[in-house]
Amino acid sequence: MQDHQLLNVLKEIESKQEELLSLAKTLISFRTPSPPARNTSEAQRWIERYLQRQAFTTDRWEVYPGDPNVVGTKLGEKSNMFQSLIINGHIDVAEVRPGEDWHTDPFQAEVIEGRLIGRGAADMKGGMAAALFVLKLFHEQDIQLPGDIIFQSVVGEEVGEAGTLQCCERGYQADFAIVVDTSDTKIHGQGGVITGWVTIKDPNVYHDAMRRQMIHAGGSLSQGANAIEKMTVMIESLQVLERHWAVSKSYPGYPPGTNTINPAVIEGGRHAAFVADECRLWITVHFYPDESYESISREIEAHLLAAAQADPWLRNHPPSFEWGGRSMIEDRGEIFPAFEVDTEHAGVHALAAAHQEVFCEDASIGVSGTVTDGGWLAAAGIPTVIYGPGQLSEAHSINESICVKELVEFSKVMARFIYKWCHQQK
340-398, pLDDT tens digit by residue?
999 999 999 999 999 999 999 999 999 999 999 999 999 999 999 999 999 999 999 99
3-state SS, residue 176: strand
3-state SS, residue 61: strand
The answer to whether 2-190+339-422 and 192-323 have equal CATH topology is no
pLDDT at 1 over 60: no
DSSP string across 334-385:
-EE--B---TTSHHHHHHHHHHHHHHSSPPPEEEESS--THHHHHHTT--EE
| Cα–Cα distance for residue pair 285/297, rounded to 1 Å | 9
The CATH number of domain 2-190+339-422, selected from 2.40.50.140, 3.40.630.10, 2.60.40.10, 3.90.220.20: 3.40.630.10
Per the prediction, the chain carries an average pLDDT of 95
Tell me if the pTM is above 0.75: yes
The predicted-structure confidence for 20-61, as pLDDT tens digits, reads as follows 999 999 999 999 999 999 999 999 999 999 999 999 999 999
* DSSP E strands, 23-134: 57-64, 67-74, 85-90, 110-112, 115-117
Q: Output the pLDDT for position 2.
A: 58
| Cα–Cα distance for residue pair 11/4, rounded to 1 Å | 11
Confirm whether 157 is a catalytic residue.
yes
| Cα–Cα distance for residue pair 378/339, rounded to 1 Å | 6
| Cα–Cα distance for residue pair 275/77, rounded to 1 Å | 70
| Cα–Cα distance for residue pair 89/157, rounded to 1 Å | 9
Which amino acid is residue 370, in one-letter code? Answer: T
Confirm whether 184 is a catalytic residue.
no
pLDDT at 12 over 90: yes
| Structure-derived torsion over alpha carbons of residues 365, 370, 375, 378, reported in degrees to the nearest 10 | 0
Any long-range contacts for 113-116 (C-beta under 8 Å, 24+ apart)? 114/403, 114/404, 114/405, 115/401, 115/402, 115/403, 115/404, 116/21, 116/24, 116/25, 116/401, 116/402, 116/404, 116/407
Identify any residues that bridge with 275 across adjacent strands, giving them in sequence order: 206
DSSP state, residue 257: T
The predicted-structure confidence for 280-299, as pLDDT tens digits, reads as follows 999 999 999 999 999 999 99
Chain center to CA of 213: 50
CB 198 within 8 A of CB 301: no
Looking at domain 192-323, its CATH class is alpha beta
Kindly report whether the peptide bond that precedes residue 35 is cis, defined as omega within 30 degrees of 0: yes
The predicted-structure confidence for 169-224, as pLDDT tens digits, reads as follows 999 999 999 999 999 999 999 999 999 999 999 998 887 877 877 765 555 666 77
Q: Where in the chain are the domains? A: 2-190+339-422, 192-323
Q: Out of 67, 157, 277, 394, pick the active-site residue.
A: 157
Q: Out of 67, 92, 400, 406, pick the active-site residue.
A: 92
